[in-house]
Amino acid sequence: MKVLLQSIGLALQFFTIIPLKRELPLTRRHVTMMFMLLASIGLLIGVLAASVHVIVSQTSWQPLTQAFFTMLALVVLTGGLHIDGLIDTGDAFFSYRDPVRRLSILDDPRVGAFGVLTVLTWLVTKLVVLQQLYADHALAVWMLILLPIVTRSMMALFFTTTPCAKEKGLAHFFKTTSNGRYILVSYSFITMIVLGIFTWWTASIVPLILISIALLATMWYRSFAIKNFGGLSGDLLGAWIEGLEVILWLVILFVYM
């Protein structure tokens, strides 16, 4: 029980804005459990974002304003950590350099033009999709809960199946400290449970479509990361959470249009 509680604390520290000013152990058991809890972190973020959605839906605000506050909740709850990874990944990839040079750009704290363009494209796309769903009264609570669960589950899949691009950094530490097999097996069960619950909730095959696309997209992203960066890094992990979420929102938009 103590290991579980400490692992929950680690997951909250590393993947949300929730301030836990405690020094927690980073043993193999703790790090493995932390990654196994990522879907639960997604559930927490989804429930909180869905709560914001329920509140703004009761107002007379325009769909754009409602969409803005719902999107803001999703950004704030993660502390903008994953967006930082998206910016760095955009800078590095669109430099069109070799993988070694791209990795050095990932480590550069400065923000370049391509990083700015990447995050602006991401923000506008997400805002427009949410605005359209609000305008069509198509945005549902289950969507806001499911997507953070799926994106973090896919991040765990990407993490466990992709070699590290460099032998340093937080991602390398987590990779060498955790038990990837346990994480992978746990998410095989978690994905089936999530699929069953949300299929029952929605009485549709949309959750199956979303999870299937997420799996295929993650396999593609794995190849993309290896080809262009030599493997995974912390920035690439964060970028995939945000990138995959936008992909799934676009799928939802096309399905419900």
pLDDT at 78: 83
Does 18 fall in a domain? no
pLDDT at 4: 85
pLDDT at 213: 97
Condensed to tens digits (0 to 9), the pLDDT of residues 34-71 reads: 999 999 999 999 999 999 999 999 999 999 999 999 99
Where residue 122 falls (left for φ over 0; alpha for ψ -120 to 50; beta otherwise) is alpha
Q: Indicate the burial class of 81 (C-beta count within 10 angstroms; 0-12, 13-18, 19 or more).
A: middle
Does 188 fall in a domain? yes
- The listed range with the strongest mean pLDDT (74-83, 107-116, 158-167) is 158-167
3-state secondary structure 211-252: HHHHHHHHHHHHHHHHHHHCCECHHHHHHHHHHHHHHHHHHH
pLDDT at 41: 93
| Distances from the Cα of 142 to the Cα of 1, 46, 50, 67, angstroms | 30, 9, 8, 16
10's enclosing H/E stretch is helix 2-15
pLDDT band at 107 (very low <50, low <70, confident <90, very high): confident
pLDDT at 67: 96
- Residue 87 domain boundaries: 40-256
pLDDT of 220 strictly over 90: yes
Helix, strand and coil percent figures for the chain, each rounded to 5:
80, 0, 20
- Look at the pTM and tell me if it is higher than 0.85: yes
Does 201 fall in a domain? yes
For the chain, what is the domain count? 1
Nearest to 150 by CA among 184, 189, 183, 194: 194
- The listed range with the strongest mean pLDDT (84-93, 145-154, 228-237) is 145-154
Does 164 fall in a domain? yes
Condensed to tens digits (0 to 9), the pLDDT of residues 135-178 reads: 998 999 999 999 999 999 999 999 999 999 888 888 889 999 98
Does 26 fall in a domain? no
Residue-wise over 145-157: b if at least 16 C-beta within 10 A, else e? bbbbbbbbbbbbb
pLDDT band at 110 (very low <50, low <70, confident <90, very high): confident
Position with higher pLDDT, 88 vs 80: 88
Does 212 fall in a domain? yes
Does 223 fall in a domain? yes
pLDDT at 240: 94
Does 3 fall in a domain? no
